[in-house]
Amino acid sequence: MKKIFILTGEASGDKLAAKVIDNLNKLNPNIEYLSVGGENLNKLGIKSIYNLKEITYLGFTNVLLNIFNIKRKINETVQAIENFQPDILFSVDSPDFTLRVAERIKKNNPKIRTIHYVAPQVWVWREGRVKKIKKYIDHILLLFNFEKTYFEKENMSHEFVGHPLLESKVESGIDINQILGKNKALISIFTGSRQSEINVLAPILLNFIKLMNEKFNDLTYVFHSTKEYSDLIQSKITEKGLKNCEVISDNKIKNHVLQKSIFAVSKSGTVSLEICNAKIPSIILYKMGLINFLIVKMLVKTKFANIINIAAKEEIIPELLQSDCNPKNIFNVVSDYLNNPKKMDEQVSKTQSILNNLKTNNSSAALAANALNKRL
């Protein structure tokens, strides 16, 4: 029986990996798996060697503070992979963790084929990184068509598969009204999948909601969470005494809530693609410590934080970062959109134009699964 070790570094990677493996199981049901994964891979019956939250750190300073723990986890992961002896190491996103492991594995066990899904954003950070990656990654699966240029330059084996979050969702007949109450106007809130992100953004967002409640009395705010942190978010809502907030963690329900929303307020990240794909107007937030921000400012080469804005080379979706990420600013931008339906329609129209250039004709997860199956 062939073996695949699935290596993720955070909840979003676990979600992407699960979509691929679900497709791969249809092509080839006779594969043994082991992983560093989360709840989505677990639902497929795939064991994780430890809890994913043990390696999710936000920002450079947090990484530095946890450097010995990260090194220990890398050693533990490498040992587990070598003991498992997979035919393929399938790494997904989180390059600062997953690619370090892949490099060690390739050095120690060159026969293990290494396939990485979600290319490091070399166009944002370090273009020279491709030369290094080529030494220990046999094949890379790209989410965005414009990324091909960087890997073609180095003659590295690559394949554009598109982004699975851009695939059309199948209606499952869930009645959102029964869950959240009838005829409520919904605003979707995304605080991120890491505890450190939630601790930073949740207080800001809850104070934003308090401001909104002074002007709008008919809105319900739905926090999209992982199961692991839904209680944490709920406790923060309860502390603030807010009655028009809900927390959801079921993925099917989350998809439906997003599609029924009139607006979304989101932490910067891949979730922005889901929001745009659902044709929901939004704004993007991010806040980190000053030291982290200064380091990022030195390293990052792009003007924008959001992939849609980067691809468009203009700010289609407003970005409120660092000191701009505060309750008053968020309130001003969101209320301006809600009072101007034409402005919301214009944003959606522009994002759809950009998304059309990022999509493939086939399922990204199916293409990625096929790439894995061919190399078993």
Question: In this structure, are 352 and 368 located in the same domain?
Answer: no
pTM over 0.75: no
| Same domain membership, residue 346 and residue 199 | yes
Paired tokens of 374: 């061919």
| Per-residue confidence band for 245, with pLDDT thresholds at 50, 70 and 90 | very high
Q: What is the pLDDT of residue 61?
A: 46
Same domain? For 69 and 155 the reply is yes
Burial of 150-170, coded b for 16+ CB within 10 Å and e otherwise, reads bbeeeebebebbbbbbbbeee
Asked if 25 and 111 sit in the same domain, the reply is yes
Residues 105 and 212 both lie in one domain: no
CATH code where residue 54 lies? 3.40.50.2000
pLDDT of 56-88, one tens digit each? Answer: 754 444 656 677 778 889 999 999 999 999 999
Closest by CA to 103, choosing from 72, 81, 127, is: 81
What mean pLDDT comes out for the span 284-300?
Answer: 65
Residues 268 and 342 in one domain: yes
SS3 324: helix
Evaluate whether residue 264 is within a structural domain.
yes
For residue 37, name the pLDDT band (cuts at 50, 70, 90).
very high
- pLDDT at position 182 is 59
221 has pLDDT over 80: yes
Range among 55-64, 108-117, 155-164 with highest mean pLDDT value: 108-117
Assess whether 209 and 182 both reside in one domain.
Answer: yes
What confidence tier does 357 reach under pLDDT thresholds 50, 70, 90?
A: confident
Does residue 236 fall inside a structural domain? yes
Structural domain containing residue 8: 2-162+360-374
Whether 6 and 122 share a structural domain: yes
Stated as kind and residue range, the H or E segment containing 277 is: helix 271-277
- The number of folded domains in the chain is 2
CA distance 322 to 284: 11
Instruction: Clarify whether residues 248 and 148 are in a common domain.
Output: no
Beta strands in the chain (DSSP E): 2-7, 31-36, 88-92, 113-117, 139-142, 158-160, 185-190, 219-224, 245-248, 261-267, 282-286, 319-321
Residue 171 falls within a domain, yes or no?
no
pLDDT for 86 equals: 98
Residue 122 pLDDT class (50, 70, 90 cuts): low
In order of 224, 257, 266, the CA distances from 334 in angstroms are 18, 18, 12
Question: Using alpha carbons only, what angle is made at residue 186 by residues 180 and 189, rounded to the nearest 5 degrees?
Answer: 100
Same-domain status, 266 and 329: yes
CA dist 97 and 7 (Å) reads: 9
Does a structural domain hold residue 195?
yes
How many beta carbons lie within 10 A of that of residue 131, not counting itself?
11
Looking at residue 329, its pLDDT comes to 98
- Confidence tier at 140 by pLDDT (50, 70, 90): very high
170 in a domain, yes or no?
no
Among 46-50, 154-158, 248-252, 327-331, the minimum mean pLDDT is found in 248-252
Label residue 251 left, alpha or beta by phi (over 0 means left) and psi (-120 to 50 means alpha).
alpha
What is the pLDDT, as a whole number, of residue 55? 81
Which segment of 180-194, 199-213, 281-295, 322-336 scores lowest on mean pLDDT? 281-295
> Rounded mean pLDDT of 191-215?
94
Share of the chain above pLDDT 90, in %: 63
Strands 113-117 and 185-190: unpaired
Q: Looking at per-residue confidence, does 149 or 337 come out higher?
A: 337
Compute the mean pLDDT over every residue in the chain, rounded to the nearest whole number: 88
Residue-by-residue DSSP string for 292-320? HHHHHHHH---S-SSHHHHHHTS-SS-EE
Task: Judge whether residue 170 has pLDDT over 60.
Answer: no
Which residue is associated with the tokens 């980067």?
310
Of the listed ranges 15-24, 296-305, 309-318, the least confidently predicted one is: 296-305
Distances (CA, A) of 76 to 22, 68, 84, 104, 314: 26, 12, 12, 12, 43
* Same structural domain, 256 and 319: yes
Question: How sure is the predictor about 181, in pLDDT bands with cuts at 50, 70 and 90?
Answer: low
Band of residue 14 on the pLDDT scale cut at 50, 70, 90:
very high
358 pLDDT exceeds 90?
Answer: no
Q: How far apart are CA 145 and CA 163, in angstroms?
A: 10
